[in-house]
Every structure is written in structure tokens, then in C-alpha cells.
Amino acid sequence: MQQLQAAGQKVGFVPTMGALHQGHLSLIAQARQQTDVVVCSIFVNPTQFTDPKDLEKYPRPIEADIAKLEQAGCDVLFNPPVNEMYAGHENWHLNIGEIEHLLEGEFRPGHYQGVMQVVNKLFSIINPNLAFFGQKDYQQVMVIEQLINRLNLPVKLVMCPIEREPDGLAMSSRNIHLTADDRRHALVLSRALNKAKAEWQAGVPLLSIEQNAAELINLESGTRLEYFVLANGQTLHAATPDSQSIVALVAARVGNTRLIDNVIIR
């Protein structure tokens, strides 16, 4: 990669855990537009899973993924085995402040430490100029920004919009675990987010918006809400009416599958 960069070529990097869908492919399309050489990694990172069952059942359709990457015009695939990324038990911690403990951090303790470990390693192996991440994992984008800033990493993060199914469900590798019933119930998440945005535009108070959304989701059978919050888009603390940027973020279990989604409201 260093040789390519020395020759004036820009390297774009799209880290993934595989089971590729249109969301991942949209990141690759962005990378193709903005850089000269596109590297994608597929690595199901054990250190970011808080539930061993979730890790075990994570889909790994590598042949289909390779075909999709070839079709999408990805130049290089990095698909290392676990022991190439982790020599043994690693117990290092990067303190990026409270953002890692909010929202997802509260429900998945240690998750973002695992994310930072692997992304830091991937950045140092691949050495990209630009790295493409999805807004789908909004808090992850904020965490990686912190990682880049605190360690002065020579890479720029590009956040790409959420790709959705025609009925509004945010694309996710975990959607294949949804039964037909779950799949229907899961639509309540994007419905609640869109309603929240419309209510905000109509001047409904923030607290009422959150309560209405929670009520809507709790009424949907088979669905267990973990959080629905309107957060300040920079700090992820509760938004106030004069927050410059506001994001509605939701996490819920639908059947046995945990889903997250969000919408930028302001």
C-alpha cells in the first residue's frame, strides 16, 4: 500500500464482518468514487462480541462475499484468520471517555474496546488514506473518530448513508436471522424513527417524541425495546431543543435478533 501511495494513489478501506449486503456494497461504491485502490476486509472480530452465541451464529458466506466484492470492483480483500490478528489474549484499553459507555456501550459492555482494537490493527496493516464507515452504526463512527483523533492516525473517516430495504428496514447481516414474523415486526423501528423526525419538524417536545416512539415500539408484538433516544449528534448525550445536531437512535430485540437503527433529525 505504501508503494501505491508513494506513486500518488489513494487507498480506500472498507472494514466489514462479511455476509455482505447492499449497505456494505454502497461503502465500496463510495470508496471507488473517492480513491484509486479499494481494500475491503472481512473479519468477524471476536473481541467485539459480548455474547458468545452471537459470535458463533454470525453468518460467514465467504464464497458469496468474494463474488459480490469482485462484482463491486473491490481491488483487494483482506480476510485474515483470528490468530493472525490476535497473538493471544490482549488486554489493552484505550480511554476515549464516556462515549464508549453510552447507549450501545451500556448494553454491550466492552464492545467498543474490541472495535477499537481491531480497527486500529486494520488501519496499521492497510494504512488507508480514507476509511468508509456506515451511519448505520452511528455511535461506532463517533468512537472511530475519537480513536483517529486521540492516536493522530493518518486516515480520514468518511461516513456513508444507511441503505434500506424498500419497506424501510435498515440492511444488516443479522437480518437473515429474522423469521417472517420478526421481519414484519422489525419495520416498527424505521417507522418510529421516521415518525420521530416528522414530530420534531412539527415542533413536538423532545421528551414526548421519545415517549411516543417507545410506546409505538412496545406495542409491536415480539419486540423488546432497549433504548430510543434523541441524542446530541456530537456527544450522544440527551439532545436539547438547541442542540446543533440531533440523532434519533434505537436498539431493540425483535424475536431473538438484536437490531439497531437511527435517523439524523437535524
Question: What residues line the site for ligand AMP (CB under 6 A)?
Answer: 16-17, 23-24, 26-27, 133-134, 136-137, 160, 162-163, 170-173
CA atoms of 211 and 228, how far apart (whole Å) = 9
DSSP state at residue 82: H
Minimum CB separation from ligand AMP for residue 106, in Å?
19
CB 155 within 8 A of CB 132: no
> Which CB sits closer to ligand AMP, 113 or 173?
173
CA atoms of 161 and 124, how far apart (whole Å) = 26
> Which CB sits closer to ligand AMP, 27 or 263?
27
Length of the chain: 266
> Which CB sits closer to ligand AMP, 80 or 218?
80
CA atoms of 10 and 156, how far apart (whole Å) = 11
Minimum CB separation from ligand AMP for residue 64, in Å?
14
Catalytic residue among 24, 111, 177, 185: 24
Alpha-carbon torsion angle 99, 102, 108, 114, nearest 10:
0
Specify whether 24 is catalytic: yes
Residue with cell 419495520: 187
DSSP state at residue 168: S
> Which CB sits closer to ligand AMP, 123 or 133?
133
Minimum CB separation from ligand AMP for residue 255, in Å?
19
Minimum CB separation from ligand AMP for residue 3, in Å?
27
Which residues, 6 or more positions from 51, have their beta carbon under 8 angstroms from its beta carbon?
A: none
Catalytic residue set: 24
